[in-house]
């Protein structure tokens, strides 16, 4: 007869990280950029897009983004892709919002048509 020992293979511990994507739906600043079709998003444009509208939109977006993934991990999103954003300044303003700044998000921005 043979004798033996049974042991369970140690389980690896994993840290959960959330990855997401969010369409920011025309997040434009109020500064005219000659090489960007942003006329509607200026204070004098058809949408009457003022600084107040811009910052209000950033606050609403930050509220939603700050909650994505928190049902899985209290850290929320580790990485988030975005679409429909005018420029890097808009992303910088977004991640500096009080609801997001503690997460220390870094930005990789790519301009497209």
What pLDDT, in 10s, does the model give residues 42-78?
Answer: 999 999 999 999 999 999 999 999 999 999 999 899 9
Terminal C-alpha separation, the chain: 75
**Is residue 9 one of the residues assigned to a domain?**
no
Within a domain: residue 111? no
Is 74 contained in some domain?
A: yes
Q: Where are the alpha helices (DSSP H) in the chain?
A: 51-67, 88-95
Instruction: Answer yes or no: are the C-beta atoms of 63 and 4 closer than 8 Å.
Output: no
Structural domain includes residue 8: no
pLDDT in tens, 68-107: 999 999 989 999 999 999 999 999 999 999 999 999 999 9
| Structural domain count of the chain | 1
- Domain coverage including residue 76: 18-103
pLDDT confidence bin for 7, thresholds 50/70/90 = low
Full-model pTM: 0.84
**Residue 7 in domain:** no
């Amino acid at each position: 007869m043979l004798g033996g020992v049974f042991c369970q293979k140690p389980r690896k511990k994993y840290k959960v990280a959330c990855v997401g994507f969010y369409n920011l739906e025309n997040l434009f600043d109020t500064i005219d950029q000659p090489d960007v079709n942003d006329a509607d998003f200026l204070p004098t444009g058809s949408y009457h897009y003022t600084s107040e509208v811009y910052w209000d939109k950033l606050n609403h977006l930050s509220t939603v983004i700050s909650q994505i993934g928190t049902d899985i991990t209290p850290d929320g999103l580790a990485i988030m892709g975005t679409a429909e954003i005018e420029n890097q300044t808009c992303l910088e303003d977004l991640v500096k919002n009080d609801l997001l700044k503690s997460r220390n998000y870094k930005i990789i921005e790519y301009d497209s048509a």
